[in-house]
């Protein structure tokens, strides 16, 4: 049975696909057989990104496939060690289906209230619909350079009662350029950026391990 990690959001532009690709690439680098289930049929962001990755012959390879429904994606888990759901933006029935199916659910967010409020609202909605709260984690994936704003964002998440993952993805041109080449956020040309983002990767791995032991 594959480990299933879901990445979902209430709104677009909060780094959802960036995070899904980051998780997939780093598990694949540890020789896991990984598939991204791209549930955003309209945008297909991960699908387009993987095309660039293949064209540029970047290793490790990550399988990406678009799916209409969650059950079909889960069935492919028999062939993989990890399935990462890149959910469509906005809270839908499909978002709840992903939440039901996954072992760890990650909600990415920026640090402004415009991003934080809908993120926590989505977490509350999922909890209301019976999703086990400890498997919901919040990741700060669109942070600027203000330490004060970052600290305020962290406090906002912690006060909500949901698990805040260590580490953060800052808005960096290098990360956007890496994505344009089919790379993930730990595959930029800058070691310092890669190491900082890797803190978030390790936090995700640790959280998945913790939940697996419960």
Question: Tokens 């496939």 identify what position?
Answer: 65
Q: Is 203 helix (H, G, I), strand (E, B) or coil?
A: helix
Give strand pairing partners of 109.
140
d(CA 39, CA 171): 24
Task: Round to whole Å and give the CA distance between 85 and 77.
Answer: 11
Q: What is the 3-state secondary structure (H, E, C) of 69-91?
A: CHHHHHHHHHHCCEEEEECCCCC
Q: Which ranges constitute the DSSP H helices of 107-213?
A: 113-128, 147-160, 173-180, 191-212
Token pair of 2 as six digits:
């594959």
- Residue 90 confidence class, pLDDT cut points 50, 70, 90: confident
- Token pair of 178 as six digits: 């890496």
Res. 10 pLDDT band, cuts 50 70 90: confident
Distances in Å between the alpha carbon of 73 and those of 43, 81, 133? 18, 13, 23
CA distance 94 to 70: 7
Cis peptide before 179 (omega within 30 of 0): no
Percentage above 90 pLDDT, the chain = 87
Q: How far apart are CA 189 and CA 66, in angstroms?
A: 29
100/120 Cα distance (integer angstroms): 18
**Structure confidence at residue 88 as a pLDDT band (50, 70, 90):** confident
Go through 53-89 and write b for each residue having 16 or more CB atoms within 10 A of its CB, e for each that does not.
beeeebeeebbbeebeebeebbeebeebbbbbbbbbb
Mean pLDDT value across the chain? 94
Checking if the pLDDT of 213 tops 90, the result is: no
Locus of tokens 């080449």: 181
* pLDDT digit string, tens, across residues 61-87: 999 999 999 999 999 878 999 999 999
pLDDT tens profile 149-192: 999 999 999 999 999 999 999 999 999 999 999 999 999 999 99
CA nearest 25: which of 205, 212, 173, 163?
205
Domains defined along the chain, listed by start:
3-212 (3.40.50.300)
Query: What was the pLDDT predicted at 214?
Result: 62
pLDDT value at residue 165: 98
């Amino acid at each position: 049975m594959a480990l299933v990690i879901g990445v979902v959001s209430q709104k677009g532009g909060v780094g959802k696909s960036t995070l899904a690709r980051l998780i997939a690439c780093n598990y694949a680098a540890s020789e896991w057989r990984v598939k991204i289930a791209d549930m955003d049929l309209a945008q297909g962001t991960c699908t387009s990104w993987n095309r660039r990755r293949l064209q540029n012959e970047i290793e490790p390879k990550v399988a990406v496939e678009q799916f209409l429904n969650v059950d079909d994606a889960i069935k492919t888990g028999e062939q993989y060690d990890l399935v990462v759901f890149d959910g469509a933006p906005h809270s839908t029935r499909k978002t709840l289906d992903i939440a039901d199916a996954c072992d760890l659910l990650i909600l990415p967010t920026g640090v402004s209230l415009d991003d934080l409020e809908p993120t926590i609202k989505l977490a509350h909605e999922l909890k209301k619909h019976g999703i086990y709260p400890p498997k919901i984690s919040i990741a700060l994936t669109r942070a600027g350079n203000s330490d004060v704003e970052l600290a305020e964002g962290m406090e906002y998440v912690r006060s909500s009662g949901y698990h805040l993952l260590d580490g953060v993805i800052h808005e960096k041109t290098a990360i956007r350029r890496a994505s344009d080449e089919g790379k993930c956020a730990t595959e930029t040309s800058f070691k310092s950026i890669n190491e900082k983002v890797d803190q978030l990767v390790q936090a995700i791995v640790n959280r998945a391990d913790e939940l697996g032991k419960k």
